[in-house]
């Protein structure tokens, strides 16, 4: 796909100062995988459990879809000398653009603060900032982020239409996309992680016949995020055998779904213990 950049990425590298580009390495985290999982975890823990579980399935599917498309097109990123920091893998489409579009689109739909119109405006603004950040730090071309946003919108619209907010259907759709990622990439750590995440979440959700209703207090949520973050770091950053990658990435989404139940059981155990 020649001409993906239209010279924008190169122009931003020339026009912006190094500290400004470094600032955008922080802004771009609003579309990073760790932030996507943290956001849907909070939606699940502190909001409607069914909507939260659906949001988790949508994010898992979005990440798998991104991986499948990257493997299918196999288009490179901009040259390393244009990049701030380092980004691995193929460049098209932008996973941050897809993930941010899906996450912030979902948040605009499920959150109840403000009007629907202003939530949509806010979500669009964040997606635009994240997409711009990918150009500023030099890891994507214009076409990567513009088409990524379009893919994210189309994916979310089709997913909502097909699943009708059913988490079970959402996990089935995510499983199909994870298998597509394996088909286009082979058995790599990323594709194995995609399959593991969907498997862990889908199986766990199917086993939660009685949805946990207990509240998750902020300290428990922060501890959960810290633990899952450490597991995620090990599963993605360390050079591990594929079975270990599968096992670690199985834990994170399953743990997100199980944390309310664990908190509920801990409260019951404390109340039942003699004083």
Where in the chain are the domains?
Answer: 9-262
Residues 102, 149: contact at Cβ < 8 Å? Answer: no
Encode pLDDT of 230-263 as tens digits: 888 887 777 888 999 999 999 999 999 999 888 8
Euclidean distance between CA atoms 194 and 213, whole angstroms: 28
50-62 pLDDT per residue, tens: 999 999 999 999 9
User: Tokens 């109340």 map to which residue?
Assistant: 271
- Residue pair 4/144 in contact (Cβ under 8 Å)? The answer is yes
Q: Please give the model's pTM, rounded to 2 decimal places.
A: 0.92
Give the residue among 50, 65, 144 at the shortest CA–CA distance from 102: 65
Report d(CA 122, CA 135) in Å as an integer: 20
pLDDT value of position 212: 57
Buried b (16+ CB within 10 A) or exposed e, 175-189: bebbebbbeebeebb
In this prediction, residues 11-18 reach a mean pLDDT of 77
* Per-residue pLDDT at 27 exceeds 80: yes
Q: Give residue-wise pLDDT tens across range 89-107.
A: 898 999 999 999 999 999 9
């Amino acid at each position: 796909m020649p001409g993906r950049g239209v010279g924008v990425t190169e122009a931003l590298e020339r026009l912006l100062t190094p500290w400004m580009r470094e600032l955008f390495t922080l802004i771009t985290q609003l579309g990073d995988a760790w932030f996507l999982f943290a956001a849907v975890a909070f939606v699940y823990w502190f909001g409607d459990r069914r909507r939260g579980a659906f949001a988790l399935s949508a994010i898992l599917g979005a990440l798998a879809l991104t991986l499948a498309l990257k493997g299918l097109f196999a288009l490179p990123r901009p040259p390393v000398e244009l990049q701030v920091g380092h980004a691995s893998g193929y460049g098209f489409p932008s996973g941050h653009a897809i993930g941010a579009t899906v996450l912030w689109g979902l948040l605009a739909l499920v959150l109840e603060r403000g009007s629907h119109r202003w939530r949509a405006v806010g979500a669009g603004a964040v997606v635009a900032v994240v997409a711009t950040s990918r150009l500023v730090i030099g890891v994507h071309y214009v076409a990567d982020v513009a088409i990524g946003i379009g893919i994210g919108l189309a994916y979310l619209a089709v997913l909502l239409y097909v699943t009708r907010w059913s988490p079970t259907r959402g996990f089935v759709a995510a499983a199909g996309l994870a298998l597509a990622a394996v088909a286009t990439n082979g058995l790599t750590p990323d594709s194995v992680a995609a399959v593991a995440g969907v498997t862990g979440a889908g199986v766990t959700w199917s086993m939660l016949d009685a949805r946990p209703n207990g509240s998750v207090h902020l300290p428990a949520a922060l501890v959960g995020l810290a633990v899952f973050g450490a597991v995620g770091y090990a599963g993605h950053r360390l050079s591990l055998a594929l079975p270990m990658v599968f096992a670690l990435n199985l834990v994170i989404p399953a743990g997100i779904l199980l944390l309310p139940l664990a908190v509920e059981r801990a409260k019951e155990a404390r109340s039942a213990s003699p004083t």
